[in-house]
Amino acid sequence: MSEAPILKDTTRSSGREALQKNIQAAMALSEAIRSTLGPKGLDKLLIDDEGRTLVTNDGVTVLETAKVEHPVAKMMINASSTQDRIAKDGTTSTVILAGELLQNAWQLILQGIHPSTIARGYRKSEQYILECLPQIILESDEEIRKNVVKTSLAGKGYNSMQEVIASVSLEAVKMVAETNHSVDVSKIKLISQTGGKVEDSRVFRGLMLPKKRISSEMEKELVNGKILLVDGGLEKKNVSTDLKLNVTSVGILESFRQEERKLLFEQVDKMIEHGVTVFACRESIDDDVKNYLTKVGIQAFRRVSRSDLNMLARVCGARLVNSIQASSKNDVGDYNISKNVTIDGKDFWVVEGNGRAATIVAKGSTVDIVGEVERCFDDSLGVSVQLVEDGMVVCGGGASYVALARRLRRYAETIPGREQLAIEAYADAIEVIVRVLAENAGIDPISTLLDVVAEQTNTDSDQIGIDLTTGKPENMVKLGILEPQGIIKQALVGATEVAISILRIDDVLWAKQEMAIPDLPEDDM
């Protein structure tokens, strides 16, 4: 039977035509962010539907902000987002590598090599590269780690800005690192402030919240006490149903108010029984109990967001409860310090507990600058976490990609059949990083790549990359241009996966979209 009745409402593209269109879409996406790679990369100006602008050269920000409809392009963006989530850097490299792998695969397809053969060759290349990666990694010390974080910020801001962000990020991560070197990045809070210079950004030990105690008469600083966190409030309850009261005496209404105050005081008394000296809640605190809280020595904070309450719970070992009545002594946490401080004219509440925490105050002269600083801190914190947890680094400047490509070509000579061509195509593809770095720096990309390969071969060194300042091959360790091994590893894995997935697609079925007739507005009755 004919398949026409089944696919009558579907546009179909199959075989080489479908593959060509998919690769074209992937290449178009790769070309869109190619110019942002490296310290000499250029910025993109993004404008949304409401006319708001954003200037950045962060690859994943550009990709996730752009409106992309093609499903293959979305696959590439997902690979970049995964890279950002796992490694926090290398998002642009992932897309560029995937695009180059597909372009080289297309050249092989034109020579009559089947996509499945190319996919097998790519898979073997990936496995061999991951086996070779330990051969080029280096252990890091304090100075190397700082240089690695600065390398992750290359092309974002100016040198002194990179210096400050790298130092602050590493210090914050070390503050929350456990003895086994594990890091919970959710214990690092980032507060941004407009005004001042980026160099004024600082990190503080403990959790800092832009809050002040509800009364200036309360103790400004408390040490070694108990804290209760409530996902509710300490206030009079509103009647949830329609109710009419027939008041026959002036004293009845006052007795209602007295009873409400009594219930509030009873809740405070329960906190006293638990030994609570600091209280924070998500909703409001009634003015009727403010003086009573001050009298009994409880430091109180209201309208604290749920996310901040959860962070406080982790820092102090407390449990977030729905109400004071439902709380028990097991829900109460311990704090070391709870104090109010004023920084640059703004009030903050600082809490230190047994659970380690840190707060970064990021500054910038304008809203746009602050936004870029926040994105830089997000990247640098992710890289810092990798360095503290793992500590292994590889050379930047394209040196690691060239070193792996050299090994891959020697491996290809041992593989018989057409898969050898796919392995060589993979080696060519991963060298694209050096070419794009040079291209964005205004240096001849082909000559640069040849010079780096020749220098690595002649000196038998995997540490030779491109110095974009001079345009000459240099030792990346001496220049301090390094990056965590997890970034290059995840970039190669992500790019290979998405490239193979796209190569295996030989049929694209598009459902036809019928024109929708908008609903007419209803007549006013």
Of 468, 396, 437, which is closest to residue 41 (Cα–Cα)?
437
Any catalytic annotation for residue 277?
Answer: no
Which residue among 379, 428, 462, 467 is the active-site one? 379
Which residue among 61, 82, 92, 448 is the active-site one? 92
- d(C-alpha 493, C-alpha 168), whole Å: 30
- d(C-alpha 219, C-alpha 364), whole Å: 33
Outline where 133-249 has alpha helix (H): 142-152, 159-176
Any catalytic annotation for residue 151?
Answer: no
H helix or E strand, kind and range, residue 348: strand 346-353
Pairing of strands 346-353, 207-209: antiparallel
Which residue among 82, 91, 277, 294 is the active-site one? 91
Handedness of CA 81, 85, 88, 90 (dihedral sign): negative
How many degrees, rounded to 5, is the angle at CA 504 between CA 501 and CA 507?
Answer: 115
- d(C-alpha 299, C-alpha 325), whole Å: 19
Any catalytic annotation for residue 48?
Answer: no
Express the helix, strand and coil content of the chain in percent, nearest 5 each: 50, 20, 30
Any catalytic annotation for residue 448?
Answer: no
- d(C-alpha 443, C-alpha 452), whole Å: 13
Q: Output DSSP code: residue 240.
A: S
Number of H helices, E strands in the chain: 17, 19
Which residue among 56, 58, 89, 277 is the active-site one? 58
SS3 125: helix
Outline where 330-366 has alpha helix (H): none
Cβ pair 272, 265 in contact under 8 A: no
Active site members: 58, 91-92, 379
